[in-house]
């Protein structure tokens, strides 16, 4: 039988920092911009379980976390370090299963083909101990014959535990859980389900399918199957490279000064161009996003006629899109800007063929490549 061991590092950023600061183990530690060092609009990125006991949690505004837990040690985030350690975890796990699929910076689904349950459980224990002793990282593990169930199990195992769900117990394991336990069911979906009388996974089996479909659309089939204990295997395809790259900046204060905003946009263009170049990615679509002072968002994008990779193209397109947003929604409504972002998408890895590069093709009117191709092949 095929088993999945879902590995989730506990309080990942904090645990990475504790490797360098072992004296802080067992104390409240928060990774994020220290509110005592000045005004910031940041949020908690990761909190130790000792800090969580005070009500601190990730994505919480740092001022609020500071009030809840004034004794916490604050550490600045070091994403390069976390990326390196994430690679260590992947390298540790890869030889311990038949397939190791990274699903985020701190999660890996490890597949074991043709093993029985005792073997899978023993492997999970070895891995947990090895991560602890060799990488000095605490982990929670879920063990199941389905990846989604294994992930849900790893959530129930936190912190530092292992939860196994045998295949004939999937439905019973899931039944009492909140619909929020399912990856993909967030606050909005949970609220709409609650209005329809669905709060636990067991309720999916009782709800009229038509009603469920009206709330969650095509997701309903998958949810019913999950509640019945026959989860659909998630597609394990893709791995086709990144879909988008972006850069964003939240301003210290909301502003409506056009020259300053243009300057921020140029900085973002330069940053994004740099990271695309480092990865050897070319882009074809540019999107500018604005978060206004009321926290609503507007975005505008355009697909270019050809692949591009230069800062000039990115900056010019971003400036055009920004000007349109500002003229239509900023100026006339006297709105102020909180956050600006630029996203590059329709990415292509490696060097594109010279033929398709912007330097050989004028950036003409918008016309996606497939249409250009079709004109070369008359019906």
For the CB of residue 302, give the shortest distance to DNA in the complex, in Å. 4
User: 290 with 299: CB under 8 angstroms?
Assistant: yes
Return the number of the residue (76 or 186) whose C-beta is nearest DNA.
186
CB of 168: closest distance to DNA in angstroms? 26
Q: Which of 107, 121, 317, 358 is catalytic?
A: 107
- A 10 A CB-CB count for 180 gives 15
The distance of closest approach from Cβ of residue 366 to DNA in the complex, given in angstroms and rounded to an integer, is: 5
Question: Both tokens of residue 228?
Answer: 């019945």
Q: What is the 3-state secondary structure (H, E, C) of the chain?
A: CCEEEEEEECCHHHHHHHHHCHHHCCCCEEECCCHHHCCCCCECCEECHHHHCCCCCCCCEHHHHHHHCCCCEEECCCHHHHHHHHHHHHHHHHHHCCEEEEEECCEEEEEECCCCHHHHHHHHHHHHHHHHHHCCCCEEEEEECCHHHHHHHHHHCCCCCEEEECHHHHHHHHCCCEHHHCCCCCHHHHHHHHHCCCCECCHHHHCCHHHHHHHHCCHHHHHHHHHCCCCCCCCCCCCCCCCEEEEEEEEEEEECCHHHHHHHHHHHHHHHHHHHHHHCEEEEEEEEEEEECCCCEEEEEEEEEEEECCHHHHHHHHHHHHHHHHHHHHCCCCCCEEEEEEEEECCEECCCCHHHEHHHCCCCCCCCHHHHHHHCCCC
Give me the least distance between CB of 188 and DNA, in Å please.
3
Report in angstroms how near the CB of residue 189 gets to DNA at its nearest.
3
Please state the closest distance from residue 25 (CB atom) to DNA, in A: 21
Q: State which residue, 160 or 184, has the beta carbon closest to DNA.
A: 184
CB-nearer residue toward DNA: 119 or 299 = 299
Closest CB to DNA among residues 86, 128: 86
Residues 6+ positions from 25 with CB-CB distance below 8 Å: 18
CB of 119: closest distance to DNA in angstroms? 27
Q: Which residues bind DNA (CB under 7 A)?
A: 12, 40-43, 45, 58-59, 61, 63-64, 104-107, 182-190, 217-219, 238, 242-250, 275, 285, 287, 294-303, 338-339, 341, 346, 366, 368-371, 374, 379
164 versus 341: smaller Cβ distance to DNA: 341
**Of residues 21, 28, 43, 20, the one with CA closest to residue 74:** 28
Looking at the Cβ atoms of 168 and 238, the one nearer to DNA is 238
| Known active-site residue 107 | yes
CA atoms within 13 A on the CB side of 117: 10
Nearer to DNA, 166 or 225 (CB): 225
Instruction: Give the residue numbers annotated as catalytic, written as ranges.
Output: 107
């Amino acid at each position: 039988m095929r088993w999945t061991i879902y590995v989730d590092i506990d309080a990942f950023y904090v645990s990475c920092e504790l490797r360098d600061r072992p004296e802080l183990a067992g104390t409240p530690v928060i990774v994020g911009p220290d509110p005592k060092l000045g005004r910031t609009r940041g949020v908690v990125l990761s909190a130790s379980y000792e800090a969580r006991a005070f009500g601190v949690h990730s994505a919480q505004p740092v001022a609020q976390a500071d009030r809840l837990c004034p004794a916490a040690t604050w550490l600045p985030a070091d994403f390069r370090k976390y990326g390196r350690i994430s690679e260590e975890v992947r390298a540790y796990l890869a030889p311990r299963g038949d397939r190791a699929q990274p699903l985020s910076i701190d999660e890996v689904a490890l597949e074991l083909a043709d093993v029985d349950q005792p073997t899978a459980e023993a492997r999970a224990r070895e891995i947990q101990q090895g991560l602890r002793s060799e990488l000095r990282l605490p982990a929670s593990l879920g063990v199941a014959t389905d990846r989604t169930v294994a992930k849900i199990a790893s959530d129930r195992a936190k912190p530092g535990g292992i939860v196994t769900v045998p295949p004939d117990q999937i439905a019973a394991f899931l039944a009492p859980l909140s619909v929020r336990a399912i990856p993909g069911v967030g606050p909005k979906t949970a609220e709409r389900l609650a209005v329809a009388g669905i709060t636990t996974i067991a309720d999916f089996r009782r709800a009229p399918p038509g009603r469920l479909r009206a709330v969650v659309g095509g997701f309903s089939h998958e949810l019913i199957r999950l509640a019945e204990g026959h989860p659909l295997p998630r597609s394990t395809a893709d791995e086709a490279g990144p879909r988008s790259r972006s850069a964003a900046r939240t301003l210290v204060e909301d502003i409506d000064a056009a020259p300053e905003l243009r300057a921020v946009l140029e900085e973002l263009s330069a940053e994004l161009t740099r990271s695309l170049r480092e990865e050897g990615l070319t882009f074809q679509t540019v999107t500018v996003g604005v978060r206004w002072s009321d926290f609503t968002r507007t975005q505008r994008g355009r697909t270019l006629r050809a692949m591009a990779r230069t800062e000039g193209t990115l900056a010019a397109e971003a400036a055009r899109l920004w000007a349109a947003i500002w003229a239509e929604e900023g100026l006339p409504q006297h709105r102020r800007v909180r956050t600006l972002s630029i996203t590059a998408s329709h990415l292509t890895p490696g060097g594109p063929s010279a033929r398709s590069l912007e330097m050989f093709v004028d950036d003409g009117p918008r016309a996606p490549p497939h249409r250009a191709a079709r004109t070369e092949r008359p019906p």
